[in-house]
Amino acid sequence: MTCEKAMSLMSAYLDKELGFDEFRQVELHIAYCEACSQEYESLKATKELLGTLKAAELPRDFWLELRERLGAVGAAEQAAPAHAKSNHSSRSTRQSLWRRILRPAAGGSGARGGLFSSPAAKALVPAFLVLMLAALPVVWSAHRRPAEAQMSSRVDSIEPYFRDYVISEYDRPLSDKTSVGFVVTGQAVTMYTSDLLGPSSKVTRAGNLREASPPQSSAPGNEYTLISYPR
């Protein structure tokens, strides 16, 4: 998570309005990023300060006065000149295609020059409506599909990919292994704290370690790498 993203989610994080995953990521970022941590503390303090302020008392006649003013505005709109109405009708000409087609037919007058003013055209309208209703599920499905595709792309995070990429740096002969290790171990921590390790990671406890991991390597000259407790 970038600082910019964390900042944008900070307020929602404070108000506990984020989903679990975003909440965890912001939490993780704040834990590691000093600048964002300071911003978080500052925002938190501001919110707490605002929370201590007492709500201002409204004057006793506030609501009565507000109602009267609103009434006055409504009356003025009723008495508006005709040109305002003509503006409204010009807006209606920019309505959607199907409204423009259907309005004259539904009104039945045809006198205002609608596309369906002739009797034959009027007869086509019910058939057309039926066809459109039948197609509605298909259209809906097409409308939904991009969203589903987008959702599926969200399932896999980039973290595991990046980790695999960095690990390949171990195979580069001139790469600095300590630097690579710094990034790889950092990735492991990020993935662990973000629940990104997935079900394929095996978790045991140190007490059972001798059974859980083979401490002896079979490679010649490789004496051991041993996690031992107790020794």
Per-residue interface string for the shown chain with another protein, residues 178-207, x marking contact by CB under 8 A: xxxxxxxxx-xx--xxxxxxxxxxxxxxxx
Which residue, 56 or 219, has its beta carbon nearer to another protein? Answer: 219
3-state helix/strand/coil string of 108-147: CCCCCCCCCCCHHHHHHHHHHHHHHHHHHHHHHHHHHHHH
Contacts by 106-114, CB closer than 8 A, 24 or more apart: none
* 174 makes contact with another protein (CB under 8 A): yes
Q: How far is the CB of 84 from another protein (least distance, A)?
A: 23
Is the backbone peptide bond immediately before 230 cis, with ω within 30 degrees of 0? yes
Q: How far is the CB of 149 from another protein (least distance, A)?
A: 6
- Give the separation between CA 78 and CA 221, rounded to whole angstroms: 96
Q: Which of residues 119-148 bind another protein (CB under 8 A)?
A: 132, 135, 138-139, 141-143, 148
Task: Using CB under 8 A, pick the residue from 13, 15, 34, 48 that binds another protein.
Answer: 34
Q: Which of residues 36-95 bind another protein (CB under 8 A)?
A: none
How distant, in Å, are the alpha carbons of 70, 102, 103, 147, 180 from that of 95? Answer: 29, 11, 11, 27, 60
Q: How far is the CB of 4 from another protein (least distance, A)?
A: 8
Cα dihedral across residues 173, 179, 185, 187: positive or negative: negative
Per-residue interface string for the shown chain with another protein, residues 208-227, x marking contact by CB under 8 A: -x--xx---x-x-xxxxxxx
* 19 makes contact with another protein (CB under 8 A): yes
